[in-house]
Structure 1
Amino acid sequence: MTGQGSYVYPSPSAARPHAPTSVGGQSITYDAAGNTLTGLGRSFVWDGENRPSSITKAGVTVAFTYGPDGERLTKQKSVSDAGCTGSRTDVTLTLGADLERDTKWTCSSGSWVSTSTWTKYVQSDVKRVGNGSGAAAHFLHRDHLSSVRQVTDATGALAQSQTFTPYGTRAQSTGHEEAKGYIGERHDPETGLIYLHARYYDPAIGRFVSPDSWDPLKEGVGTNRYAYADNDPINKSDPNGHFINFLISGVMSGGMELASKLYSGNPVNWSLVASEAAIGVATGGVGPIFNAAKIGIGAARTAVAVKTTVTLIEEAGEAGLRSGVKSAVEKEAAESLTTVGAKIAPGVSSEATNAAKLAAGEAKDAIPRGEFSIIDWSGYPQGLAKPEGPFRLLTGSEYASARSAANNANRAIREAQGLVGKPLNIHELNPVKFGGSPIDMANKVVLDRGFHRGVVTPWWSQLARDLAR
Structure 2
Amino acid sequence: AALSVVNQATNLGFTYDAIGNLKTRKDYQLSASETFDYDDLNRLEVVTTSLAGGTGPLKTEVHYDALGNIKYKSDVGSYGYNGSCNGVTAGPHAVTNTTGNQNAKYCYDKNGNMVSGSGKKIRYTSFDKPDLIDSGIAKTEFVYGPDRARIRRIDSKPNQSLTTYYMGGIYEKVHDSNGQIKHKHYIADVAVVTQTEGESTTKENYLHKDHLGSVVAITDSTGNVIERASYDPWGKKRLTSWRPAPDYTALASNITTRGFTGHENLDAVGLIHMNGRVYDQNLGRFLSADPFIQNPYNSQSLNRYT
Alpha-carbon RMSD across the aligned residues, in angstroms, is 2.4
What is the distance in 2 between the residues matched to 1:169 and 1:76? 22
Cα gap change, 1:136 to 1:177, in 2 (>3 Å)? closer
Q: CA deviation at 1:63?
A: 1.5
Give 1:52-71 correspondences, 5 Å limit. Answer: 52-71=130-149
**Structure 1: distance between partners of 2:90 and 2:107:** 13
Residues 161 and 177 in structure 2, CA contact (< 8 A), matched pair in contact too? yes
User: Given residue 228 of structure 2, which amino acid in structure 1 is its aligned partner?
Assistant: S
d(CA) in 2 for partners of 1:50, 1:159: 38
State how far apart, in whole Å, the 2-side matches of 1:177 and 1:224 are.
Answer: 35
Q: 1:219 to 1:101 in 2, by over 3 A?
A: farther
Match of 1:27 in 2: 105
Q: Which amino acid aligns with 2:93?
A: H
Deviation at 1:131, TM superposition (A): 3.7
Structure with greater proportional strand content: 2
Q: Which residue in the other structure is 1:225 paired with?
A: 304
Q: Which residue of 1 aligns with 2:93?
A: 18
* Gap runs ≥5 in structure 2: 1-61, 63-72, 84-88, 241-250
Is 2:47 aligned against 1:47? no
* 1:57 aligned partner, one-letter code: S
TM norm structure 2: 0.64
Q: After the TM superposition, which parts of structure 1 deviate over 6 Å for at least 4 consecutive aligned residues?
A: none
In structure 1, the residue matched to 2:221 is 154
| 3-state DSSP of counterpart to 2:128 | coil
Match of 1:8 in 2: 80
Matched, 1:126 2:198: no
> What is the CA–CA distance in structure 2 between the aligned matches of 1:99 and 1:4, rounded to whole Å?
37
| Higher gyration radius (CA) | 1
Where 1:21 maps in the other structure, the secondary structure is strand
Distance 2:258 2:295 in 1: 30
Higher relative contact order (CA 8 A, sep 6+): 2
Report the 3-state secondary structure (helix = DSSP H, G, I; strand = E; otherwise coil) of the residue aligned with 2:288. coil
SS, match of residue 73 in structure 1: strand
Matches within 5 A, 1:39-438: 39-78=117-156, 81=159, 90-106=162-178, 114-131=179-196, 134-172=201-239, 176=254, 178-217=256-295, 222-227=301-306
Q: CA deviation at 1:98?
A: 1.4
Letter of the structure 2 residue corresponding to residue 189 of structure 1: D
Name whichever structure is richer in helix by fraction: 1
Q: Which runs of 5+ in 1 are unaligned?
A: 82-87, 107-113, 228-469
State the AA in 2 paired with 1:26: A
Change (3 A) 1:181 1:64: same
1:356 matched to which residue of 2? Answer: none
Deviation of the 1:15 alpha carbon: 6.0
Letter aligned with residue 146 of structure 1? G
TM-score w.r.t. length of structure 1? 0.42
1:134: how far off? 1.8
